[in-house]
């Protein structure tokens, strides 16, 4: 199982690297769209599989709960740690230890000591950019799964303190 | 004996439609499938039946005609499975079992990266698998 996990980690990182570095080096926003689209397709297919044995969802909250519990357990062997909602179509799913970010450890502030201000700022910038890129795939996963369950939405990610991160789901009405 | 099976997408677009009869009655069977979509809509939108069956994927007997019985199944992703059979005493458990296998076959078929969501399922292996499931349904009753 550990090997399979490392493989998935490696595939996700390599996919991001290929799209950002090779194919769309000049256009990061295009790379982001492509990565998100791959996630969308995967989420679309997985949601079909993981909802096979369960009764139909009666409302949006139930579907979101399914994403938080069962879908997340299948993917990351843990559930979402915190779910917040404003009851008007916005949900915030917080994962305190997001598996695909646990290997990412570039913290610009700890490397301040032996580099100049400018360098560390630039380093922090690219690190943040790379990490953001890593999150487009899981965003696509969530959006694909919810869309397949009949809930059109947009998903964005926020990573203020690694390896915790939160996904913001906005349901389109 | 099952004479026809169908998979219908969430916008009532046909994804897979296959009849299993020698005679030339495909059109009639497709018509029956078409009619059953309305029954499914009605079931889902006005659930006046008892609570436990409310959100179950298996919808049970949709409606009987003179020669056929039509069974339905609606997944979480609003994909409808329809089965038309000539058997007059079908056990619910058998129908349930059939749909579970049918659904599993469908899930595997749409997980194919070359399948375009919303388009007809063209996979030959899916067709072969469905045929096997359909055949085993008849034999399951006699054994």
Q: How far apart are CA A73 and CA B77, in angstroms?
A: 20
Q: Rounded mean pLDDT of chain A?
A: 81
Residue A149: list chain B partners with CB under 8 A: 76-77
Q: How far apart are CA A142 and CA B109, in angstroms?
A: 21
> Is A111 within the bounds of a domain?
no
Q: What pLDDT shows up at residue A109?
A: 54
State pLDDT tens for residues A144-167. Answer: 999 988 889 999 888 777 778 888
Q: Rounded mean pLDDT of chain B?
A: 82
Q: Which residues of A touch B (CB under 8 A)?
A: 41, 44-45, 47-49, 51-52, 54-58, 148-150
- Chain B nearest-CA residue for A58: B55
Q: What pLDDT shows up at residue A140?
A: 92
In this complex, the residue of B10, B76, B104 whose CB is nearest that of residue A51 is B76
Query: What does the block give as tokens for B43?
Result: 């079931």
Residue owning tokens 């996700």? A12
> Is A114 within the bounds of a domain?
no
Q: How far apart are CA A133 and CA A19, in angstroms?
A: 10
A87-100: average pLDDT:
86
The shortest C-alpha distance from A39 to chain B (Å) reads: 12
Q: Cβ atoms within 10 A of the Cβ of B64, count?
A: 10
| pLDDT band with cut points at 50, 70 and 90 for residue A142 | very high
Query: Low-confidence residues of chain B, pLDDT below 70?
Result: 47-54, 138-143
State pLDDT tens for residues B121-134. Answer: 888 899 999 888 88
Predicted ipTM beyond 0.85:
no
Q: What is the span of the domain harbouring residue A6?
A: 1-105+121-171
Contact criterion met (CB < 8 Å) for A48 and B107: yes
A64-91: average pLDDT:
88
pLDDT at A34 over 80: yes
Q: What pLDDT shows up at residue A133?
A: 83
The CATH number of residue A83's host domain is: 3.30.1380.20
Query: Where would I find the H helices in A25-149?
Result: 28-50, 60-66, 72-76, 117-148
> Is A82 within the bounds of a domain?
yes
| pLDDT band with cut points at 50, 70 and 90 for residue A110 | very low
Bigger pLDDT: A38 vs B44: A38
Nearest Cα to Cα of residue A140 among A121, A153, A151:
A153
pLDDT at A108 over 60: no
Q: What pLDDT shows up at residue A125?
A: 65
Q: What pLDDT shows up at residue B115?
A: 85
Spell out a b/e string for B9-45, using b for 16 or more CB atoms within 10 Å of the CB, else e: bbeeeebbbbbbeeeeeeebbbebbeebbebbeebbe
A3-29: average pLDDT:
81
Question: Which CATH architecture best describes the domain B2-136?
Answer: 2-Layer Sandwich (3.30)
> Is A112 within the bounds of a domain?
no
The shortest C-alpha distance from A150 to chain B (Å) reads: 7
Domain boundaries, chain B: 2-136
- Report how many domains make up chain A: 1
In this complex, the residue of B54, B56, B110 whose CB is nearest that of residue A45 is B110
Q: How far apart are CA B68 and CA B7, in angstroms?
A: 18
In this complex, the residue of B57, B107, B111 whose CB is nearest that of residue A56 is B57
**CB distance A54 to A126 below 8 Å:** no
> Is A116 within the bounds of a domain?
no
């Amino acid at each position: 199982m550990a090997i399979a996990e490392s493989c998935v980690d490696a595939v996700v990182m390599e996919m991001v690297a290929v799209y950002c570095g090779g194919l769309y080096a000049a256009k990061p926003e295009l790379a982001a769209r492509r990565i998100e689209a791959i996630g969308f397709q995967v989420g679309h297919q997985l949601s079909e599989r993981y909802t096979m044995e369960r009764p139909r969802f009666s409302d949006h909250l139930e579907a979101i709960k399914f994403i938080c519990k069962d879908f997340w357990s299948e993917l990351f062997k843990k559930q979402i740690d915190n779910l917040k909602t404003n009851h008007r179509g916005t949900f915030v799913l917080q994962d305190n230890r997001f598996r695909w970010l646990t290997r990412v450890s570039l913290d610009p502030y700890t490397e301040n000591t032996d580099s100049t201000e400018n360098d560390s700022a630039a380093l922090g910038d690219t690190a943040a950019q790379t990490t953001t890129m890593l999150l487009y795939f899981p965003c696509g996963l969530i959006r694909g799964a919810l869309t397949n369950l009949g809930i059109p939405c947009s998903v964005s990610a926020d990573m203020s303190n690694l390896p915790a991160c939160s996904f913001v789901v906005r349901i389109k009405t | 004996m099952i004479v026809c099976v169908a998979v219908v997408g969430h916008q009532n677009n046909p994804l897979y439609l296959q009849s299993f009869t020698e005679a030339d009655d495909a059109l009639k069977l497709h018509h029956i499938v078409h009619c059953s979509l309305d029954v499914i809509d009605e079931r889902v939108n006005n659930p006046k039946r008892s609570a436990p069956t409310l959100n179950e994927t298996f919808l049970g007997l949709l409606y009987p005609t003179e020669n056929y019985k039509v069974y339905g199944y609606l997944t979480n992703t609003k994909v409808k499975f329809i089965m038309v059979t000539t058997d007059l005493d079908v056990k619910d458990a058998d129908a349930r079992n059939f749909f579970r296998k049918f659904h599993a076959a469908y899930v595997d078929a749409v997980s194919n990266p070359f399948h375009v969501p919303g388009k007809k399922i063209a996979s030959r292996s899916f067709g072969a698998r469905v045929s096997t499931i359909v055949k085993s349904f008849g034999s399951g009753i006699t054994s």
